[in-house]
């Protein structure tokens, strides 16, 4: 096993320094590399979710290979290091990260005291994330945070303050929105801006929204080629967050990003009409299979009914954004059907056509973009306009295939099919470009504030309406 462990005793605390690389490095000797060669050094804090490792699935030119990890004792950080080690030791394009780890109950205070980097990476227990963000920003550290940044309406004011303080200090606070990098979503957005094809985005109605996004996820899944083991706290909505404030973050973000590109949005643009939540029921054996726990921990007993666990991982929001009706819905099942995986359905309704992404069995669970319900125009003339619109985009060999009356499918070459895991490297690369410039696009921070206002306000409404 290509790993080392060095141990440093500091003030009666034991600090474990582990790395998947071959270079031996103690905590005292780290930090010089960033100053001499690299402009960025990651600090990983309490990595309880596998997304923390996916940020490091690739190397970045301006990022030091030395990453300081600060975490409490427990299995979460061990699993994180094992994932990094697997990237370092893979046969094709291995990484060369060197993980330097501090373990102790005072891990966060020690992280602030050590100042071993300039970008804090957060992906773990969401109950603590609002505090981690606020304290990191207050210390003058940039933050790259997995979604969701907050899971409670009570934390929204603190998040607003964190953004204000980040601007004052000239540092960046950014969340990881991977779905913006999925090719069919990109094409859906670009085509919606081609008036000769899409027309104008309809206003829609409460009964028939102009934009709908539905996401289906699964607790049991394969990540980086191996079965994913989730921490037990992942199934506690007080720590992970309910579905209505978790995965819906991506869907709300995409609606803002596609329907109002590069526009500054504010919470006053949002009107929540309806919101609801419901549980996924897991048996003890299912829970054991994905966590390794034989019994439900004490902190989950509040959610155990008749011997099974009720996880409020599902949610739906019906709302208006700048007058446009939209619906987002997230469902978590235990496992996907054979050959399947997480799925995404999305439709944008325009005055000339609908742009629809489907990812079901008919599409072999591959996101596929359709142009549907072509209105008021000869199909051949419309197809010619669509062909011209696709030709103007920075993607080659996009093909149009008729698949039914008034329906066309956009066939995308495999080279543009980037996996969900690879999207984390793309988001991180964009964040590093923003760091170089010293600022985010002017619409990003108002958009993030509006996004989390939408999700947390919806949660408050759903709990009232239960």
Listing DSSP states for 139-165 in one string gives TT-EEEEESPS--SGGGHHHHHHHHHH
**Coil, helix or strand at residue 341:** coil
Rounded Cα gap, residues 74 and 51, in angstroms: 18
Percent of the chain with pLDDT over 70: 92
**Coil, helix or strand at residue 79:** helix
pLDDT at 432 over 80: yes
pLDDT at 465 over 90: no
CA nearest 72: which of 271, 246, 295, 231?
Answer: 231
pLDDT at 75 over 80: yes
The tens digit of pLDDT for each residue in 328-362 reads 999 999 998 877 778 899 999 999 999 999 999 89
pLDDT at 378 over 80: yes
pLDDT value for 206: 97
Virtual CA dihedral for 258, 262, 263, 264, nearest 10 degrees?
A: 120
pLDDT at 30 over 80: no
Taking all residues of the chain, what is their mean pLDDT, rounded to a whole number? 91
pLDDT value for 153: 96
Alpha helices in 175-328 (DSSP H): 183-192, 195-198, 248-259, 284-291
Question: Token pair for residue 124?
Answer: 């773990």
pLDDT at 32 over 80: no
Q: How many CA atoms lie within 13 A of 119 on its CB side?
A: 27
pLDDT value for 35: 53
Least confident of 11-25, 35-49, 434-448: 11-25
pLDDT value for 178: 96
Query: ω before 148 within 30° of 0 (cis)?
Result: yes
CATH topology of domain 4-124: Rossmann fold (3.40.50)
pLDDT value for 7: 29
pLDDT value for 294: 95
Burial group, residue 4, by CB count within 10 angstroms (0-12, 13-18, 19+)? middle
Question: Token pair for residue 398?
Answer: 């996009």
Rounded average pLDDT over 190-195: 98
Band (pLDDT 50/70/90 cuts) for residue 105 is: very high
Question: Token pair for residue 289?
Answer: 């299979």
Contact 195, 165 (CB under 8 A): no
pLDDT value for 336: 85
Band (pLDDT 50/70/90 cuts) for residue 466 is: low
pLDDT value for 36: 61
Least confident of 30-34, 384-388, 417-421: 30-34
Sign of the CA dihedral running 142, 99, 432, 423? negative
Contact 102, 70 (CB under 8 A): yes
Rounded average pLDDT over 393-404: 95
pLDDT value for 16: 40
pLDDT at 187 over 80: yes
**Is 180-432+445-464 a domain of CATH 3.30.360.10?**
yes
The tens digit of pLDDT for each residue in 136-147 reads 999 999 999 999
Rounded average pLDDT over 279-307: 96
Q: Say if strands 211-220 and 173-176 run parallel, antiparallel, or are unpaired.
A: unpaired
Radius of gyration of the chain (CA): 23
The tens digit of pLDDT for each residue in 310-325 reads 999 999 999 999 999 9
pLDDT at 180 over 60: yes
CA nearest 255: which of 326, 316, 207, 323?
Answer: 326
Band (pLDDT 50/70/90 cuts) for residue 405 is: confident
Band (pLDDT 50/70/90 cuts) for residue 412 is: very high
Rounded average pLDDT over 276-294: 96
pLDDT at 19 over 60: no
| Predicted structure pTM score | 0.90
> Structural domain boundaries of the chain?
4-124, 180-432+445-464
Question: Token pair for residue 327?
Answer: 């619906």
Rounded Cα gap, residues 400 and 382, in angstroms: 11
- Contacts made by residues 340-345, CB under 8 angstroms, sequence distance 24+: 340/365, 341/218, 341/221, 341/365, 342/215, 342/216, 342/217, 342/218, 342/221, 342/420, 343/215, 343/216, 344/179, 344/182, 344/213, 344/214, 344/215, 344/216, 345/212, 345/213, 345/214, 345/215
Higher-pLDDT residue of 152, 19? 152
pLDDT value for 204: 98
């Amino acid at each position: 096993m290509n790993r080392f462990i060095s141990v440093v005793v500091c003030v009666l605390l034991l600090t474990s320094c582990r790395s998947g690389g071959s270079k031996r490095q103690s905590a005292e000797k780290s930090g010089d590399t960033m100053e001499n060669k690299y402009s960025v050094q990651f600090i990983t804090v309490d990595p309880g979710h596998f997304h923390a490792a996916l940020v490091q699935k690739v190397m970045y030119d301006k990022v030091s290979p030395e990453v300081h990890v600060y975490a409490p004792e427990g299995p979460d950080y061990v699993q994180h290091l094992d994932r990094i080690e697997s990237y370092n030791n893979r046969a094709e394009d291995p990484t060369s990260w060197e993980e330097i780890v501090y373990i102790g109950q005072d891990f966060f205070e020690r992280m602030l005291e050590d100042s071993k980097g300039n970008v804090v990476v957060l992906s773990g227990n969401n109950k603590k994330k609002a505090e981690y963000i606020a304290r990191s920003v207050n210390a003058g550290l940039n933050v790259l945070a997995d979604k969701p940044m907050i899971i409670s309406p009570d934390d929204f004011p603190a998040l607003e303050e964190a953004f204000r303080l980040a601007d004052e200090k000239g540092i960046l606070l950014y969340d990881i929105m991977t779905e913006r990098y999925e090719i069919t979503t990109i094409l859906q957005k670009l085509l919606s801006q081609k008036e000769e094809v899409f027309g104008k985005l309809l206003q829609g109605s409460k009964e028939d929204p102009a934009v709908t996004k539905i996401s289906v996820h699964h607790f049991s899944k394969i990540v980086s080629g191996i079965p994913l083991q989730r921490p037990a706290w992942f199934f506690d909505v007080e720590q992970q967050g309910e579905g209505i404030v978790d995965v819906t973050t991506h869907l709300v973000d995409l609606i803002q990003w596609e329907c109002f590109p590069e526009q500054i949005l504010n919470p006053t643009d949002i009107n929540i009409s309806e919101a609801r939540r419901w549980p996924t029921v897991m048996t003890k054996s299912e829970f054991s299979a994905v966590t390794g726990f034989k019994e439900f921990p004490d902190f989950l007993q509040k959610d155990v009914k008749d011997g099974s666990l009720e996880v409020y991982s599902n949610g739906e929001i019906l709302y208006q954004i700048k007058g446009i009706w939209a619906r987002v819905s997230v469902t978590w099942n235990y496992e996907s059907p054979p050959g399947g995986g997480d799925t995404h359905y999305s439709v944008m309704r325009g005055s000339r056509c609908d742009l629809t992404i489907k990812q079901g069995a008919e599409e072999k669970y591959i996101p596929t973009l359709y142009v549907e319900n072509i209105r008021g125009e000869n199909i051949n003339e419309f197809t010619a306009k669509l062909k011209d619109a696709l030709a103007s985009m920075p993607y080659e060999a996009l093909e149009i295939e008729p698949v039914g009356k008034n329906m066309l499918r956009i066939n995308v070459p495999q080279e543009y099919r980037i996996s969900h895991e690879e999207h984390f490297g793309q988001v991180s690369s964009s964040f590093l470009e923003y760091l170089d410039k010293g600022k985010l696009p002017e619409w990003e921070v108002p958009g993030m504030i509006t996004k989390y206002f939408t999700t947390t306000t919806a949660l408050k409404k759903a709990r009232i309406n239960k």
